[in-house]
Amino acid sequence: MTWSQMQPLLEQACAETLVMVGWSTLIAVVAGLPIGVLLVLTDKGGLLQNTVVNKVIGQVVNIGRSMPFIILMVALMSFTRWVTGTTIGSAAAIVPLAIGGIPFFARLVETAVREVDHGLVEAVQSMGGSTWTIVRKVLVPEALPSLIASTTTTIIALIGYSAMAGTVGGGGLGDLAVRYGYQRFETGLMWVTVAVLAVAISLIQFAGDYAARALHRRGGRSGPSPRLRFLKAKEPAAADISKVA
């Protein structure tokens, strides 16, 4: 197969992969972020400590993460048909990709948020900040570099899932590699597909690492925000004044 024959196939497959991974990543981030934060808030010693809620959510996330993606796709076929009207094609593959990505990203968010300095949370609490204020002003902003890295990891994992989705008619680069590279013995096209995936993943990883480092240098994990540092610095001074009085 010549390059002129490969090019339109690769362009279509790349577009399908981009659509699948893009939409599933968006859904995974939007749904996984609050779940991950909630796992931290409801844990022992959390701001919304609730053991029952934490255990239930944790078990659901664990079940979602433990299920192999190919089995998840088969198990969700009826739900996928109900949502999209079909079980094949890139649109249908978005459903299991998103559902598989949500628990994956939620656990990464949980890990990232747990690493935030608890002293910052206590400082905001001492100033009368509500739970929503702490989440919005402290937990998420301070964990942002790690959240960017987690998003990068999720995108790369979903690219791998999308390739598996191609084996059962999900479209994309995986489908192209199976139909032409495996079933039609077009070895050249298969290796080109592998190269495209490798380059795409490398670029995404580079961009994610760059963004995480840039945010880290601007603040992020390097220390509290200027306003919090100022407020914490004022507290000892206020205590000394009260003692003198």
pTM of the model as a whole = 0.83
Give the pLDDT of residue 185.
76
Distance (Å) of CA 138 to CA 37, 44, 85, 109, 131: 12, 19, 42, 14, 10
Structure tokens at 81: 């048909």
Per-state percent for the chain, helix, strand, coil, to nearest 5: 85, 0, 15
Give the span between the Cα atoms of 29 and 152, in whole angstroms. Answer: 11
- CATH number at 160 reads 1.10.3720.10
> By residue range, what is the domain housing residue 45?
3-244
Give the pLDDT of residue 6.
79
Going by the DSSP 8-state scheme, the letter that residue 219 receives in this structure is S
Residue ranges in the chain modelled with pLDDT below 50? 220-227, 229-245
Element (H, E) at 146: helix 140-165
Say how many domains are in the chain: 1
Give the span between the Cα atoms of 129 and 167, in whole angstroms. Answer: 51
Cβ atoms of 208 and 137 closer than 8 Å = no
Give the pLDDT of residue 219.
61
